[in-house]
Structure 1
Amino acid sequence: MSYSVIVPVYKNADSIPRLIQALTDMNETLDGKLEVVFVVDGSPDESFALLKKELGNMSFSAQLLAHSRNFGSFPAIRTGLMAATGEYFGVMAADLQEPPELLISFFKSLSNDECDVAIGTRNARKDPLSSRMASSIFWGLYRRLVVHDMPKGGVDIFGCNKAFREQLLQLSESRSSLIALIFWLGFRRKFIEYERQVRQEGKSAWTFKKKLEYMMDSVFAFTDYPIKLLIRMGATGSIIALLIGLMVVAARLSGAIEVPGYAATMVVVLLLGTLNLLGLGLVGTYAWRAYENSKQRPLAIVCMKLNNQGTL
């Protein structure tokens, strides 16, 4: 098979018939060279049973994998990438909110050697206003704190070639962010815009709690911004505390403050409070460096080698 599509499945029983039809149409467009890897991520509904029943009737090559419990969509994507056998790989949501035509665009760009990883970026979405606002806030914070070149609409879907997949699978970190790893790896990227579709069946399992956990994992796995913030607060606070302390001492000497011990107490509280923040930031810097080394990410990645005979 030339093209492998990984489909994480969780609480998607109602959308499976429409999903299979969309994949059938995609297989025809790709001249029958499509492989689909369904990864049922501990779904409590009938998703696995429905896919198992239809497996023999599918017109395309398919694998059906099941996690022992719900590990999350990103581990499911990793499982699918490990099992896929194609030359080019794409990730597709089982709820079909990302149009299947986007995968065709990914595969076209990848097979034409225009990029190593194709990334879908949302230029519009037909979700309710509350969802759009929450998404804008989430991806805005993500751009500010984690990946500065993240598209404004965020990333939910991507495709890649075999070289990129191999490097991605070598980064076997837990409690991390797959999307941030895609940007961390580098390689040649191509952004392809699309309009996110209305969800027709069921409810999204991407809850506020999961978004918050994902944001925390992304921040702590990819940036030392909280530590730098502590250092800045501690340094700024120390300067302010010194100025206020001088004012308190001056007021005490001039007689403006008559309460015994007030000046000393204020100076000590202000100074020690800010020094604590500064100390936590400095200790956190050493802890962050140790944590970075414990992840054992490669120091550099070679994405291409050339000699006078051509590409190796």
Structure 2
Amino acid sequence: MVIPVYKNEASVPRLVEALGSMSKELKGEMEAVLVVDGSPDRSFELLRNASATLDFPVQILVHSRNFGSFPAIRTGLAAARGEYFGVMAADLQEPPELMIAFFSALAADECDVVIGTRDSRKDPLHTRLASGVFWNLYRRLVVHDMPEGGVDVFGCNRVFRDQLLKLEESRSSLIALIFWLGFRRKLCGYERQQRQEGVSAWTLRKKIDYMMDSIFAFTDYPIRLLIRLGATGSFVSILLGLMILVARIAGVITLPGYAATMVVVLMLGALNLLGLGLVGTYAWRAYENSKQRPLAIVSMKLQNDGATNV
């Protein structure tokens, strides 16, 4: 279990209790990796004190400052020891039973990565509306097969974990990388619980930053939009230019220089957008190469040498 911790002092007792119950249900075959992401409260102190009383392996890693939940998850995944890995939030808004379902699916070799999808949520109305708008935009602009309710938690096997950690990108989206990797995927629905302690650190500013990072790391939609606007604007400017020219010849426009000025402004404005889109396309291709993502990933290999299968 990999759990990022930031301003979760109030929920630590419930978290420790939930981990203990999960360990018993998994017959002791569980390790908890808690990554304290520069939390300014007493989260680390409480976790350190509680770890001495637990009867299953625990690692507590402390970041030098607050780097964000996704870097904390990567830190935890890199340090975790095991064949299967689950990621959950320290506020327990995702039910711990979901992690057991993740483990069952992975242990049965039903998939390489299992993703928790929100079927419903017990949050306030304004929170549900804001989340719905955010994830709808995310599906439209970034990851088209993203579940409607969004993704906060996931589990995976060692093969998937190792491939995910190879993608060392800053200012990126861990969730989008999970979908980009592919592999055998399973969705597991759950009802998101109401937050019992504290307030969420997932602020509007962080949501906007996350959306911008995802857009610029995974899609050239803004560039394609510029090209479309530039091409459409060029066509419209030609039509308007012809209309202005006809009106000038017919004597409808009598102001000297108006026709020439309008035609030049319309044409150059449209061509500027088109040119920015074309230049942006080349810049995007160079940026894609700089990320050094593999061109393809082999998830399974079967080889028959005539005697044995490997």
TM over 0.5: yes
The whole-number CA distance in structure 1 between the counterparts of 2:247 and 2:54 is: 84
Q: Report the counterpart of residue 268 of structure 2 in structure 1.
A: 272
List aligned pairs for 1:189-204, cutoff 5 A: 189-204=185-200
Q: How big is each residue's C-alpha offset from its partner over 1:176-220, in whole Å with a ceiling of 9 and x where there is no partner? A: 000000000000000000000000000000000000000000000
| Deviation sequence 1:281-309 (CA, Å, 0-9, x none) | 00000000000000000000000111233
Q: Per-residue deviation at 1:272?
A: 0.4
Alpha-carbon deviation of 1:55? 1.4
Q: Which moved more, 1:145-154 or 1:50-59?
A: 50-59
- Structure 2 counterpart of 1:93: 89
**1:134-153 superposed matches below 5 A:** 134-153=130-149
List aligned pairs for 1:73-84, cutoff 5 A.
73-84=69-80
| Counterpart residue identity of residue 193, structure 1 | G
RMSD: 0.6
Q: Determine whether 1:13 maps to 2:9.
A: yes
Question: What's the CA shift for 1:54?
Answer: 1.2
- Partner of 2:152, secondary structure, is coil
- TM score, norm. by length of structure 2: 0.98
Report the AA paired with residue 200 of structure 1.
Answer: Q
> 1: CA distance between counterparts of 2:95 and 2:138?
24
Moved more, 52-61 or 233-242: 52-61
Secondary structure class of the residue paired with 1:34: coil
2:291 to 284, 290, 295: 295
1:162 equivalent to 2:171? Answer no
What CA distance in whole angstroms lies between the structure 2 residues aligned with 1:270 and 1:90? 56
1:47-62 matches, cutoff 5 A:
47-62=43-58
Q: Percent identity?
A: 71
Q: Give the match for residue 228 of structure 1.
A: 224
- 1:154 deviates by 0.4
SS at 1:307 equivalent: coil
Q: Which residue of structure 2 aligns with residue 44 of structure 1? A: 40
* Amino acid aligned to 1:240: V
Say how many residue pairs are matched: 307
Tell me how far apart the structure 2 counterparts of residues 189 and 281 of structure 1 sit (CA, whole Å). 35
Q: Which of 34, 44, 64 lines up with 2:30 in the alignment?
A: 34
The 5 Å alignment of 1:249-288 reads 249-288=245-284
| 1:58 to partner: Cα distance | 1.1
What is the alpha-carbon distance in structure 2 between the residues aligned to residue 289 and residue 203 of structure 1?
Answer: 41
User: Residue 235 of structure 1: SS of its match in structure 2?
Assistant: helix
Distance across 2 between alignment mates of 1:101 and 1:238:
57
* CA shift for structure 1 position 52: 1.0
Structure 2: runs of 5 or more not aligned:
none
- Partner of 2:121 in structure 1? 125
Q: Distance in 1 between matches of 2:62 and 2:270?
A: 52
Q: Does 1:68 align with 2:68?
A: no
SS in 1 for 2:296: coil
Q: Which amino acid aligns with 2:41?
A: D
User: What displacement does 1:76 show?
Assistant: 0.2
> Which structure 1 residue ranges, 5 or more long, are not aligned?
none
